[in-house]
Amino acid sequence: MKRRRIAKRIGALLGVLSVASACEHREPPAWDAGSGSLSAEPLPPPPPSLDASPSAAADTPDAPAVDPGTLPQTRDRPRSSGPAYEARVRSLWDAIVADDPDRAMPAFFPVTAYKQVKAIPSPESDWKHRLVAAFARDIHRLHERLGKHASDATFVELEVASERARWVEPGEESNKVGYWRVYGSKIRYQVGDNATALDVTSLISWRGEWYVVHLSGFK
């Protein structure tokens, strides 16, 4: 009788140990933060930290800029102010000081706009071989006028005679598209206490912005 009781107790103890062993090898469930319940599914990745550097947005490449010369002309009267205007004027001045016409090309009337404006054969060739060639020569000559004072000269402004600007109608001057035009603008600068100026013969507009088309005289 006593042997049977001992055998039963041993069997029960072995059963308890077996259950405990099985529990030790089982993976604990993970906490599902979304539902607030226990789940064996892995946790989703955490959201970006609010303290993270904002460089991610800065690393995104900018969308390509649209060439304004590919867009239709407008009758907007150009202003002699604004970031785009100031950037073009600065590129023109920097080109004269450095004797580098390429720097001034943002200030020059775009070839894509010129192709829309001119009712002539090969407007692109005329733009390149006549207008741009003359523009480059003028940049070199204006740099020579600065002479030894080029590095000491301080830009003041491009003074546009806006009150003399007029709208050139299609059909004038072999044009098929109109634009605003103004003669007699001046690049004003200083060397020490001496104020002086360089002449800019002609500016014309595209979509409400001034561009150089003849820098020194008509060629």
Query: Do 96 and 143 form a contact (C-beta atoms < 8 A)?
Result: yes
Mean pLDDT value across residues 132-147: 96
Least confident of 10-24, 62-76, 133-147, 175-189: 10-24
Q: Is the pLDDT of residue 142 over 90?
A: yes
Mean pLDDT value across residues 195-216: 96
Q: Which stretch, 1-10, 28-37, 71-80, has highest mean pLDDT?
A: 71-80
Q: What is the pLDDT of residue 158?
A: 97
pLDDT tens readout for residues 82-137 = 999 999 999 999 999 999 999 999 999 999 999 999 999 999 999 999 999 999 99
The band of 33, judged by pLDDT with boundaries at 50, 70 and 90, is very low
pLDDT tens readout for residues 12-29 = 544 444 444 444 444 444
Mean pLDDT value across residues 163-168: 96
The CA distance from 136 to 216, in Å, is: 10
Mean pLDDT value across residues 56-72: 66
How would you classify the pairing of strands 194-206 and 153-159?
unpaired
Task: Give CA angle at 189 (94, 68), nearest 5°.
Answer: 45
Q: What is the pLDDT of residue 79?
A: 92
The band of 10, judged by pLDDT with boundaries at 50, 70 and 90, is low
Q: Where are the domains of the chain?
A: 79-214
Q: Is the pLDDT of residue 68 over 50?
A: yes
Q: What is the pLDDT of residue 41?
A: 42
The band of 164, judged by pLDDT with boundaries at 50, 70 and 90, is very high
Q: Is the pLDDT of residue 203 over 90?
A: yes
